[in-house]
Amino acid sequence: MGAKVRWFTFTGLALVFAGTGEGRRDLRTRGQAGLRRSCSKTSSAAIRRVGRGACVRARARAWQDKDRKARCSRRGKAPSAAPQAYAFGVGLSYASGGFVTVDGTSYSPDGGFLLDLFVDKILAPSFSLGAYATFSSVGWSSVDVSYQSVGAVLKARFELSPSVRLRPGLTLGFNRMSSSAFKETSTGMNLGMHVDLAIATSNTFALVPRLGFFSQPTGGYANNDITFGPHFYLAFALEFGR
């Protein structure tokens, strides 16, 4: 009985390797017939309890899984190992200094570290929509400035391999800065872009290096304008999902 099931499986895989549509149709017909005969002849008490239909379905699922793995192996691929529904993570970034303009006067902030939090809802295999939050404290000409940014992020998702994805993204959000150098808290719009390289070790965990920039094309407080162009950063994040 077990030998017959194996015979049908091996015959089916051989037909798949042949690569013809007719061969695949013959594979399904012969494989399903073999499964039905195998289940009808068994005398297992467990199989009798669940019924022959359940037996056929269970063995068919196992056969389809083996066939899927065999086809992936033939193409040099493995089954996907990456989150399929949502992902969230935490990362650490180092941002370059750049320039900040306050009412026409340019300042050169020091580089500094940023803490990044993010969550993504995977709407399709090639697209996700999510949110981010960034926190930092940097120096501007010996004056400490606290910086926070929250907003939305849109990402495209390109599969380079079953466990590696390239994810370019666009961020649009709200910046907030406070410092003893400001009379009031400054607010503004964040516009940024980044590229993730997500390396999944399973369908629940990935390592994510990232390169990107953030900016503030408009913002300030009262009648004081505070703007800055792209500040580039390099980040490394841990991502969890399912």
Report the C-alpha gap between 27 and 66 in whole angstroms: 13
Helix 2-18 to helix 52-74 angle (10° resolution) is 40
pLDDT, residue 208, reads 97
3-class SS at 141? coil
pLDDT beneath 50, residues of the chain: 2-27
pLDDT given at position 41: 53
- Please answer whether residues 143 and 180 qualify as being in contact, where contact means their C-beta atoms are separated by less than 8 angstroms: yes
220: Cβ contacts below 8 Å, ≥ 6 apart: 102, 186, 187, 188, 226, 227
pLDDT more than 70, % of the chain: 65
Residue count of the chain: 242
- Contact at 8 Å (CB) between 193 and 233? no
Could you tell me the two tokens for 156? 């495209």
What are the structural domains of the chain? 2-74 (no CATH), 86-241 (2.40.160.20)
Cα 80 off chain centre by: 12
Q: What is the pLDDT of residues 84-105, one digit of tens each?
A: 899 999 999 999 877 788 877 7
